[in-house]
Structure 1
Amino acid sequence: MREGGRRLRRLGFAAVFALAASAATAQTHQFSTDQRNLACGSPSAIGDGWATATPESAGLDGGRLCGIAARLTASNANVHAVVIARRGMLVFEQYFPGYDEPWGMGSGLHDFDAVTKHDMRSVSKSVVSLLVGIAIDRELIKSADEPIVKFFPDYSAVKSPGWDSITLRHLLTMSSGMQWDENRAWKDPQNDEPHLGSEADPYRYVLSKPVAAPPDTVWTYNGGGTDLLGNILERVSGKSLDAFAREALFTPLGISDWEWMKYHNEHIASAVGLRLRPRDAAKIGQLVLNKGAWADRQVVSAKWIEQSITPRFQAIGYFGGLFYYGQQWWMGRTLSADKEVKWIAAMGLGGQRLFIVPDLDLVVMTTSGLYGSSRQGNAALEILANFVIPAVRDK
């Protein structure tokens, strides 16, 4: 599976780290030097709304967490950021240079720090789900069981038979039954995803796809459905998706430095185009952990969060592994020592991973540049299983 309407030339990992060794003159951001001078993993104070603390004060073994950097270096993991929050406080962050393919900026070696935005790729889908929940909370949408065609009367002549039965919830759970395949090479003409960026009217393209199975029976990974949800939000709010996201979600979370990129056809890339600072992405995780609340404000209803993170389908093969899928959120479990720990996640191509571990009051966000690599999920899961969970020192 591929994302985002563009595929750039990739460097081998050996070449990447050779470049890293000679990159002493590469431009760095304001906080890079400060970050290196701090104790291992100490969060920077940048006035973004996060309360910061030491790992030990939040019941974590800081020494164990300090082993993350050595492990990532030894395994050439090309991870760019590791951010950890516990008990509602930011307790650990580390950033690493590496190869990346940031949207619109060109591939190559990049430096990262606390104020660097990173492509979220399909983590964007989980954010769209939160925005749909907010729209329902505000009664802009009656419910997730509303039929899709209700919002697209201008496409009634092009919709394929069977679309009358497809609801927002079917798009959210990727169970619409529409014929869709993005698990192909990017240049394969049968890959549906590139059409989202190349078609003059991508919504017409999606709505004209045939319905191959009854809704709510088959799970198929589908970014086209998420782009429809993004356009529905625009239609019901009277705002562009990024304007609605700013007002309804990002401003309440104190997220001010972000981008939601557009395809070449000038349509916003709802399913894959969000760029956030990793510590701001961790706020999204904390919001879910807090059942929709942030800083004593209910941003999205607890009911919507519960519906979103309830497993509805088994999802095999995407991002590597056996998981379950809710409403644009993934669910899984990790075996760490003798403990089986359940988690909720938002996942994006290249190793973008937002893990939420309710039983441990824990949020872990990682970003990386493993596009097209079968290892893209391994590094984040290894950090979670072999470092973060074993670092918990309380019940």
Structure 2
Amino acid sequence: MRDRLSRLTIFGASLAFALSVSAAHPRAESVSPGQPNQACGSPSPIDDGWKITSPDSVGMDGAQLCTIAARLGQRSTAVHSVVVVRHGKLVFEQYFAGYDQPWGQADGQYEFTATTKHDMRSASKSVTSLLIGIAIDRKLIAGVDEPVLKFFPDYTAVKQPGWDAVTLRHLLTMSSGITWDEARAWTDPKNDEPHLVTEPDPLGYVLSRPVAAPPDTLWTYNGGGTELLGNIVERVSGKPLEAFAREALFQPLDITDVEWKPYKNGKIAAASGLRLRPRDAAKIGQLVLNRGQWNGRQIVSADWIAQSITPRFQAVGYFGGTLFYGYQWWIGRSLVGDKEIKWIGAFGWGGQRIFVVPELDLVMMTTAAQYGQPKEGLAAIDILSNIVIPSVRDAH
């Protein structure tokens, strides 16, 4: 359940990976066995709404993409999947067996394929942001400047001084100023995140936190604010969060195999509980890339997408301060040769990543089990920056 992001920098010198596959990462087959001349990483047709083609047909070097497994295999990166989409078409996928800690299941060794759901962890936050946008599009919420306490009249008794100034926008940008610390060890009683799991009323816990700074002045990573956002969606829609998400987002995206895990008190974990197939998670990235459209249908407004991916705060203390933060979306860049390539990301603890690269019309998604590892997330950014982006031939 724990979903705290590593604070190490994801930029810097390239990892010194060699080109040999480690036995620690046996491949879980993603294609039908026995197919003649089956290209490495060729996606399986599973009738999930994706159009499938070869990397070379969309201007990518398929042979270069085939070095991903070797690059991962040199070290115990615990990556479970890599999915690549270009020009709206699925062009590459690979899956790797390995250890995992899936929510609500036993820790252990698992096989991963195109039809295996995986914890998204904090990438759930980015999906919750999309649901807020849909609620605003449907006029269930007037806008991001609505005060948070307007939606929680039943929590007046726990209100602390300063909460009246906190709006939805402050929760979306993690700039509410409320006292919150997820950077401590999970067992540290001063870590606020475990309280979302253990408290009989996690919403009450969040709303009772004191305000340490005026809104818009202090960026602090805060899953508690996302829990409030998810509950606001429930309150304005009159539906459980998962039911609203299925109707408003997942069904229009042809996502049918989805799970959103609850906390012990039964409330859906808006900040960290989503489980999706990697190919379906890549659809979330494609939706953002397409400014809210999927197969010609506008699912969330283009304006909301634009607002969500606009850099609003330096993400101080996370990944060496190299990232910006929007509405529950990260904004970063990769250095490819002598050129900076900007991207938008949904990040989840353990190495769950959705990267959206507008300049190249590209989406890359990874899942992993790098929970608590000092190099958590480094494999994904290495693959993106040193293999996937450079494999694009028609933009260089």
TM-score over 0.5 for the alignment?
yes
> In 2, distance between residues paired with 1:305 and 1:58?
25
> In 2, distance between residues paired with 1:264 and 1:383?
36
Distance 1:35 1:320, change over 3 A: farther
What is the match of residue 354 of structure 1?
Answer: 354
Post-superposition Cα deviations, 1:66-90, rounded to whole Å, max 9, x if no partner, equal 0001111112211100000000100
Q: In terms of mean alpha carbon deviation, does 238-247 or 309-318 score higher?
A: 309-318
Cα offset for 1:319?
5.1
Give unpaired runs (5+ residues) of structure 2.
Answer: 5-21
Answer whether contact 2:312 2:324 (CA < 8 A) is retained.
yes
Post-superposition Cα deviations, 1:207-236, rounded to whole Å, max 9, x if no partner, equal 010001000110000000000000000000
Answer whether contact 2:182 2:222 (CA < 8 A) is retained.
yes
Cα offset for 1:3?
2.0
> In 2, distance between residues paired with 1:35 and 1:278?
21
1:223 aligns with 2:223: yes
Answer whether contact 2:31 2:44 (CA < 8 A) is retained.
no
Aligned residue runs from structure 1 range 64-79, under 5 A: 64-79=64-79
> In 1, distance between residues paired with 2:43 and 2:185?
39
Give unpaired runs (5+ residues) of structure 1.
Answer: 5-16
What is the match of residue 299 of structure 1?
Answer: 299
> In 2, distance between residues paired with 1:18 and 1:82?
18
What is the match of residue 34 of structure 1?
Answer: 32
What is the match of residue 271 of structure 1?
Answer: 271
Aligned residue runs from structure 1 range 125-136, under 5 A: 125-136=125-136
What is the match of residue 9 of structure 2?
Answer: none
Answer whether contact 1:261 1:273 (CA < 8 A) is retained.
yes
> In 1, distance between residues paired with 2:59 and 2:388?
11
What is the match of residue 11 of structure 1?
Answer: none
> In 1, distance between residues paired with 2:358 and 2:251?
25
Aligned length: 376
Answer whether contact 1:2 1:182 (CA < 8 A) is retained.
no
1:110 aligns with 2:115: no
Cα offset for 1:322?
1.6
Answer whether contact 1:320 1:377 (CA < 8 A) is retained.
no
Amino acid at match of 1:122: S
Aligned residue runs from structure 1 range 278-357, under 5 A: 278-318=278-318, 322-357=322-357
Q: TM-score, normalised by structure 2?
A: 0.92
> In 2, distance between residues paired with 1:182 and 1:147?
24
What is the match of residue 51 of structure 1?
Answer: 51
Cα offset for 1:386?
0.9
Amino acid at match of 1:39: A
> In 2, distance between residues paired with 1:75 and 1:19?
8
Cα offset for 1:32?
4.7
> In 2, distance between residues paired with 1:321 and 1:95?
31
Aligned residue runs from structure 1 range 42-191, under 5 A: 42-191=42-191
What is the match of residue 7 of structure 1?
Answer: none
> In 2, distance between residues paired with 1:229 and 1:250?
18
Distance 1:36 1:69, change over 3 A: farther
Aligned residue runs from structure 1 range 242-257, under 5 A: 242-257=242-257
Q: Comparing both chains, which one has the higher relative contact order based on Cα–Cα distances under 8 Å and sequence gaps of 6 or more? A: 2
Answer whether contact 1:20 1:109 (CA < 8 A) is retained.
no
- Secondary structure of residue in 1 paired with 2:52: coil
Distance 1:244 1:268, change over 3 A: same
Distance 1:33 1:356, change over 3 A: closer
Percentage of identical aligned residues: 66
Answer whether contact 2:95 2:112 (CA < 8 A) is retained.
yes
Answer whether contact 2:31 2:42 (CA < 8 A) is retained.
no
Answer whether contact 1:320 1:374 (CA < 8 A) is retained.
no
> In 2, distance between residues paired with 1:18 and 1:87?
34
1:208 aligns with 2:223: no
> In 2, distance between residues paired with 1:56 and 1:79?
25
Post-superposition Cα deviations, 1:27-79, rounded to whole Å, max 9, x if no partner, equal x7xx7562785320111100000001000001000000000011111122111
